[in-house]
Amino acid sequence: MNIFNTLTRTKTPFRPIVAGKVKMYLCGPTVYDEPHLGHARSAVVYDVIRRYLKTRGYTVTYVRNITDIDNKIIEKANQRHQDYRKLSAHYIDRYHDVMAQLNVLSPDAEPKATEFILPILDFISSLIQKGHAYTSSGNVYFAVQSFKAYGRLSGRSSHSSPEETLAVVGTGKQHPADFALWRASKPWTPSWPSPWGPGRPGWHIECSAMSLKLLGEVFDIHGGGVDLIFPHHENEIAQSQSISGTSPANYWIHNGLVQINGKKMSKSLGNYPALNDLLAVYPAGALRLLMLSKRYRHPLEFRPVALRSAVKNFARLERFCSQWNVSPVAPAETSKRTGSLWSQFCFAMDDDFNFPMALSVVFQGVRRINQILATASDVLRASECPEGIKTVVAEMAFICRDILGIEFETAVASVTGKHQKFQSNGKQCTAQLPHLEGSPISSQS
């Protein structure tokens, strides 16, 4: 198995720290609004990666955090004259609801920022003691110039222009690139006591404290959207490595963003489709296929034609699997022979989780078996199908259900009724879509 590592900018063989075990951390959502396609892509991508690793025999410990205290959360709560805890709890429930509908497995741990205040305070204190952070008017900042490897992940330099240097005057920062570990409280913001005065944690510090507490100083895989490479993940590395002396993760992998019509998305304009709206119309399995239709590191353009294609492909898989009276069966060791469907699927997934190639293997299997049965007698198709074909179908059903996370519980019913019109009539599909103006949909914001 080879994985592209953003930190080294190379595709390298995957070697876990402990043989047979994988520790993964994913930066989850900031909960201040409805879940959108950016959340879906990130969640589905790492859900499939986790499922595949488990299928290949690894014991996977998977952590996905939730940011439940943040400027945007506070601002929205204040606008609504609502307690920030009530607001964040509402959107956490909404996030969990759509993740369940999308058949995204729950993480092994889902830490929230407000639950990790004490570990965060301990982490910040250690950074101050080691000379990597300083206090200023109740705030605590990370001193970027104290960490010589800063910029290795993103390729950005910590050097500042004269204009940037002038801009920090009066901010309490010593350098323009320094970032907040602890923010002094203001009259309208929630706060917790600390050695530096009441305040709340900065965004970047929470993931460093959480991963250290739950996964240890060094774990295997850290995931997130490409929009998190800088500054979030760059700052995570600076914080964590300043404590431990090494990068917190051995493999940094990043999924591309969802784009809509190549234009910038703006939540203020409401020009992006919310997941609840899409799930009310389209099968969850079709949306998962859409999320997996491109290489995970590449952008995903959300267009009506792509959604129509995903719905048709889902219906095709559903019809194929529902006509067989077989249960999904994990491939046996003997089925890993060269040229088998399972070995081809693994070949694709082992190449940096090449989802499009893996899906093409599945659909080639559907096409090949249908071609074989098209020339067979009705009796053979109905009751005397060769065991070899049944074995392949059972493996395909396993791949769809257990690795790709695509459920067919509704059998053929879901391709009749309300979804059928989207297969047969492209205009109806376009008309039913929520507003399709807009673009990069962030995995975090």
Give yes or no for a contact between 117 and 192, defined as CB atoms under 8 angstroms apart: yes
**pLDDT, position 414:** 34
**Which residue in the block uniquely carries the two structure tokens 């198709």?**
381
> Would 445 be classed as within a structural domain?
no
DSSP state of 14: -
CATH number, domain of 172, equals: 3.40.50.620
Single-letter residue type at 357: M
On whether residue 357 sits in a domain, the answer given is: yes
Among candidate residues 211, 226, 255, the one where a domain is terminated: 255
Domain span including residue 62: 2-255
Q: Does 364 lie in the same domain as 217?
A: no
> Helices in 5-108 by DSSP H: which ranges?
37-55, 71-79, 84-101
More confident residue, 35 or 168: 35
pLDDT at 188: 85
Residues 36 and 176 in one domain: yes
Contacts of 364 (CB under 8 A, 6+ apart): none
We report the CATH number of the domain holding residue 369 as 1.20.120.640
Task: Please determine, for residue 301, whether its predicted confidence score (pLDDT) is greater than 70.
Answer: yes
Averaged pLDDT, 288-295: 97
Tell me, yes or no, whether 283 and 185 share the same domain: no
Please check whether residue 266 lies inside any domain of the structure: no
- Whether 442 is covered by a domain: the verdict is no
Q: Tens digits of per-residue pLDDT, 209-264?
A: 999 999 999 999 999 999 999 999 999 999 999 999 999 999 999 999 998 877 54
pLDDT at 349 over 80: yes
Residues 237 and 286 in one domain: no
Q: Does any domain span residue 443?
A: no
Q: Which residues contact 357 (CB under 8 A, 6 or more apart)?
A: 348, 351
Same domain, 145 and 32: yes
The overall pTM is greater than 0.75: yes
- Please check whether residues 147 and 246 belong to one and the same domain: yes
Last residue of a domain, one of 255, 287, 318: 255
Same domain (yes/no): 302, 183: no
Average pLDDT value over all residues in the chain: 86
Among 124-138, 241-255, 333-347, 388-402, where is mean pLDDT lowest? 333-347
pLDDT of 424: 31
Q: Cα dist. 52→131, 162, 427 in Å?
A: 42, 49, 36
Q: Same domain for 420 and 316?
A: yes
Is position 169 within any domain? yes
Is residue 261 included in any domain, yes or no? Answer: no
User: How is residue 246 written in tokens?
Assistant: 């090494």
Residue environment code for 65-75, b if the CB has 16+ CB neighbours within 10 A, otherwise e: bbbbbbeebbe
Q: Is residue 267 part of a domain?
A: no
Same domain, 17 and 51: yes
pLDDT at 372: 78
- Do 173 and 127 lie in a common domain? yes
What pLDDT, on the 0 to 100 scale, is given for residue 274?
84
- Mean pLDDT across the stretch 126-144? 97
- The reply to whether 82 and 153 lie within a common domain is yes
Q: What share of the chain has pLDDT > 90, as a percent?
A: 69
Residue 61 has pLDDT above 60, yes or no: yes
Q: What confidence tier does 335 reach under pLDDT thresholds 50, 70, 90?
A: low
On whether both 300 and 216 belong to a single domain, the answer is no
Q: Which residue has the higher pLDDT, 415 or 165?
A: 165
Query: What phi and psi, each to the nearest 5 degrees, are found at residue 374?
Result: -65, -25
Q: Which of 255, 289, 313 is the last residue of a domain?
A: 255
**Which 8-state DSSP code applies to residue 443?**
S
- Which pLDDT score is estimated for 160? 57
Asked if the model's pLDDT at residue 422 lies above 50, the reply is no
| Least confident window among 202-206, 239-243, 325-329, 383-387 | 383-387
Q: How many folded domains does the chain comprise?
A: 2
pLDDT at 375: 73
Of all residues in the chain, what percent carry a pLDDT higher than 70? 82
Q: Is the pLDDT score of 383 beyond 60?
A: no
